[in-house]
Every structure is written in C-alpha cells, then in structure tokens.
Amino acid sequence: MTPADLLLTPKGVRFMGRLIPCSIGKGGIRTDKLEGDGATPVGSHQITGMLYRPDRMTAPQAWAHPIRPGDLWSDDVADLNYNHLVRAPYRYSHERMRRADPLYDLVLLTDWNWPDAVSGRGSAIFLHQWRRPGYPTEGCIAFSRSNLRWIAERLQPGARLIVRSR
C-alpha cells in the first residue's frame, strides 16, 4: 500500500495523509459480493477511470472523461456488456450515468468485476457523491462533493481502493 492508495477504514477513507468521511454499501463489507446485495466488496480495486459532468463542473484532471447524454452502465447479468459503459438506446437493464441528481457528477471507476465481468458477481463499484452523510449506497463508496473533488484532483491513474474485511 502507498499513500497514493485509498484505504477504507471503519472511520472513513485514508488518502494522502487525510481521513475522509464516507458512506459504504447498505449490505456492509463482504467477501462474497453478488449483484443486487448492496455490499461493498473486499479487495484491492484499481481506479480505472474518472468521469465527470462537463455541464456541472470542470474536469478534475486531464485524464477525466466527460459523461455524455446517453451514457449508461449495464447492470443486466444477461447482457454481454454487463458491467460496462454503454450508450442509449439500450435494451438491457442499465443505470443512467447522466442523472438528474448530483450523485454521478463526478465518478471514479474501479476494476471490480471489470473488464471481464462474471455474470452475477456484481456491477460497478464507483466512488461518487453521497446523498447525505451516512446514507448507504448500493455497494459503492460515497463522499461529500468537496471531498470527492479533492480526492479526484490528487488521484493518479492506477491508484487502488483497498477494502479489508472488518
């Protein structure tokens, strides 16, 4: 582990010498993550990308990609593109990346069950904005907008999110 990695602790995420409050999945932390269980998976998850809403903020870093109208994330276990970014119109179950609320204005992507997704193992573990402090996610890790932006501005490609069993 390096100071450039994000370490989930019982009190928040440790990153670059700071302890940053966060929310985790409503299903807790699990070693046996499954689609729809609401759990945050144990493991060392590489940060593989950064997405942002260009109509709501500037790019936190040069390697960030804009979220476009029609960007979706497939969460359908029967889809060959399960756990991948896809484009509308899309016939399989999916999540809109360009949401009306601010939760996905800035998204850090991880390699959880990606790029070679195993059907049913769980899709998309993102780092994104929380609804409010302490409000659980569907398995992602969520932060205040200002803390997420602070992390994104300092994050290097290839950094890891480390989640240990509690």
The pLDDT tens digits along the chain (166 residues) read: 887 899 999 999 999 999 999 999 999 999 999 999 999 999 999 999 999 999 999 999 999 999 999 999 999 999 999 999 999 999 999 999 999 999 999 999 999 999 999 998 998 999 999 999 999 999 999 999 999 999 999 999 889 999 998 7
Give me the residue label for tokens 């390096």. 2
Domain 6-163, CATH: 2.40.440
The candidate with the shortest Cα–Cα distance to 103, out of 155, 64, 51, is 51
Report the predicted TM-score, pTM, of the whole model to 2 decimal places: 0.96
Contact by Cβ (8 Å): 75, 124: yes
Distance CA 149, CA 154 (A): 9
Contact by Cβ (8 Å): 4, 17: no
Distance CA 13, CA 99 (A): 25
Give me the residue label for tokens 């999916």. 94
Length of the chain counted residue by residue: 166
Q: Which segments within the chain are labelled E, that is strand?
A: 6-9, 12-15, 18-20, 29-30, 40-41, 43-52, 65-66, 71-74, 85-87, 94-96, 106-110, 126-129, 141-143, 160-163
DSSP symbol at 137: B
